[in-house]
Amino acid sequence: MEKTEAIEDTKVPVVDRAEAEPRRWTTTRVELWAFYVYYIGNNGLSGFNFGPSQFQNLLFLAGYDPSHPPFTAACGAGTDCVLPYLGRVRDVNSIVLLTNGISFALQAAVLLIIGAWADYGSWRPNITIFFTILAVAVSFAWLGVEDASRWKAGVALYILGRWSMHRIHPAFPGLARDLANVQESAGRVESGDKSAEEHANLESMERNRISNVSFAVSSAGEIIILAIMVGVLKGLKSDASTENNTKAFSVLIAFSGGVWLLCALPWFFLEKRRPGLALPPDASMLTIGFKQTYIAFRECMRLKQTFLYLIFYFLMGDVLNTTVTVIGTLQNSVVSYSTLQLTLLLIVGIVTQGLGIYLFWLVQKRFQIPTKTMLCFNVLWILILTVWGLIGIHTDKFGFKHVWEIWLYQAYYGLMVCPWYAYSQTMISEVSPLPQMFLFFALFSVVGKTSAFIGPLVSSAIITASGNNDNYPFAFLFTLCVPCLSCEHSSLTLWPACAPIRRYDERHTSGALSTVFLYLVDVEKSRKECEEFVLAEAKRDAFADAVVA
């Protein structure tokens, strides 16, 4: 059965959800909280915080001052620090960025193979379990890397640690769709008591709620974990010597892994194995990822709004991922790799992160602000972050070069930048066809990982070419994310602040590439395109949309 709804004087097909996707599950409060608790463990402390810091710490301890003959003078505060790596002598910050790029490239390759598996049968829970166990194993493996002589083993663990960071965020659209109130709303659409547009807005707000609450709960749990870590560091006397500090890094990484496993267990047992699509007869589990990625890219040309957001996601993801990595390398140097200082900084960052994400959600809920508008507002603050680093190219007074700046950065990043991780993911669900939600999340992940390895590789080359000026990558990052072409069209009152930058952008028009694509995305048109896409693909059977029990 098919229904139609008039949107902008156009008849839009609306798929009867009861026929397109039989409802066998209702999201319970217990299952939803198991999802939230999983993110307390999968908080990034091992793979994205202490792991990279320990890696850079080992490089610093193993490196030498290039103003002296190789390996005759150790690196010190205020001196350059280099090490032979992949065929040439490189600055340690450049090595971190280069290795980060390699890690993201491997992640993109793996996602091409397994990214679509979550759409078929009941594979997704198994994928989550596998990558969680792998990440926990890598965390404990760091206990065997506690001195500079083993920095090459640190390279492998760094890459594996970031590679194994598996996010279950694509599960939240299904959790939102199966909430009792959303199912009741869908039933009212079926009976003609509610418009499809009203239902779509309700489901969108529920997706935003689950996404934002998951990050807020994760932040609250992470604060407790970090507070315990401060006690662990006091017990290890991490500030007593370099050896103690290096050992403390590995202990914290292993502790993070143990907490992750503990927090993951409820989700492993309580997640409902919702049915997926049937595997097409001409495909296998090894080839379906490539086939589906090809189909998704091909269909994105028909899904114009999805394609526009894909371009934006590629560019802005590159900007933010690389910016955070560059700042992280500067931060580690500024605090001299102190585990205690880094832990205290993380506490500030996580407190403000939870506060920032929840405040964004409260404002959105109070004024019923669309996801896209919230994301546009968030992107402005990412731009300011790149300007902050850009200033430091030619001065030592500013640009993430002082301890007070690092403290300020952690608070700023948490309050104004971290909402990106919630809203950018929710926006994917706003512009993706429902039956292939996991496939399109995988597609965006592949694109995100691709951009994430390009940025660090380019930044590494920039640092090397600039004579080891660690702030030079911000020039590249700033140029990618300047949103001034969209300033004059936006309804946000803050956009006029871009006026001075617009004059710069007239000479550097490529800088407008990222956010201008976000501005062009029309969510209402995207819903129409996705509905038409689902109906057309059901007739062509391109995705083999039979449901597996």
Which CATH number is 270's domain given?
1.20.1250.20
Backbone dihedral region of 468: left (phi > 0), alpha (psi from -120 to 50 degrees) or beta? left
The reported pLDDT for the residue numbered 507 is 35
The reported pLDDT for the residue numbered 493 is 37
pLDDT of 408 above 90 = yes
329 and 470 Cβ atoms separated by less than 8 Å: yes
The reported pLDDT for the residue numbered 19 is 40
- Which helix (H) or strand (E) segment holds residue 539: the answer is helix 523-540
Neighbours of 175 (CB within 10 A): 23
CA distance linking residue 66 with residue 455, whole number of Å: 26
Could you give the percent of the chain with pLDDT greater than 70? 81
> Which residues of 64-142 form beta strands (DSSP E)?
82-85, 88-91
CA distance linking residue 440 with residue 530, whole number of Å: 12
Any domain includes 12? no
CA distance linking residue 129 with residue 502, whole number of Å: 48
pLDDT of 469 above 70 = yes
- State the average pLDDT over residues 474-491: 55
Write the DSSP symbol of residue 279: P
Neighbours of 538 (CB within 10 A): 14
pLDDT of 275 above 90 = no
CA distance linking residue 411 with residue 408, whole number of Å: 5
Any domain includes 374? yes
Cα 39 vs. chain centroid, distance in angstroms? 13
The reported pLDDT for the residue numbered 549 is 42
Tell me the pLDDT tens digit for each residue of 283-302: 777 777 777 777 767 766 77
CA distance linking residue 267 with residue 262, whole number of Å: 10
CA distance linking residue 210 with residue 355, whole number of Å: 16
Q: What residues contact 177, with CB distance under 8 A and at least 6 apart?
A: 183, 203, 434
pLDDT of 381 above 70 = yes
CA distance linking residue 372 with residue 490, whole number of Å: 12
Any domain includes 1? no
Q: Are strands 2-7 and 82-85 parallel, antiparallel or unpaired?
A: unpaired
Two tokens at 288? 């379906």
Domain that holds residue 380: 28-532
- Which helix (H) or strand (E) segment holds residue 11: the answer is strand 10-15
Cα 213 vs. chain centroid, distance in angstroms? 16
Neighbours of 306 (CB within 10 A): 25
For residue 120, list its beta bridge partners. 277
Q: How far is CA 142 from CA 162, 251, 338, 505, in A?
A: 13, 8, 17, 45
Lowest mean pLDDT among 271-280, 344-353, 361-370: 271-280
Q: How far is CA 499 from CA 298, 375, 420, 491, 495, in A?
A: 38, 20, 24, 15, 8
Any domain includes 537? no
CA distance linking residue 59 with residue 333, whole number of Å: 12
Write the DSSP symbol of residue 418: T
424 and 359 Cβ atoms separated by less than 8 Å: no
pLDDT of 254 above 50 = yes
pLDDT of 541 above 80 = no
Across 382-391, 405-414, 510-519, 540-549, the highest mean pLDDT is recorded for 405-414
- State the average pLDDT over residues 244-268: 95
Q: How far is CA 352 from CA 6, 226, 376, 402, 413, in A?
A: 43, 14, 20, 20, 8
Any domain includes 6? no
Any domain includes 23? no
CA distance linking residue 34 with residue 90, whole number of Å: 44
CA distance linking residue 460 with residue 469, whole number of Å: 10
Any domain includes 19? no
The reported pLDDT for the residue numbered 195 is 85
> What is the pLDDT of the chain when averaged over all its residues?
80
pLDDT of 484 above 70 = no
CA distance linking residue 81 with residue 59, whole number of Å: 9
Write the DSSP symbol of residue 544: -
pLDDT of 463 above 50 = yes
Two tokens at 422? 């919630």
Structure confidence at residue 348 as a pLDDT band (50, 70, 90)? very high
Any domain includes 272? yes
Q: Are strands 82-85 and 88-91 parallel, antiparallel or unpaired?
A: antiparallel
In the block, tokens 């491997």 appear at 106
pLDDT of 12 above 70 = no
Tell me the pLDDT tens digit for each residue of 109-166: 777 777 667 667 677 788 888 889 999 999 999 999 988 989 999 999 998 887 776 6
- pTM (two decimals): 0.76
User: 233-237, long-range: CB within 8 Å, 24+ apart, which pairs?
Assistant: 233/339, 233/340, 233/343
Tell me the pLDDT tens digit for each residue of 47-79: 888 998 999 999 999 999 998 999 999 998 778
The number of folded domains in the chain is: 1
The reported pLDDT for the residue numbered 9 is 35
The reported pLDDT for the residue numbered 452 is 61
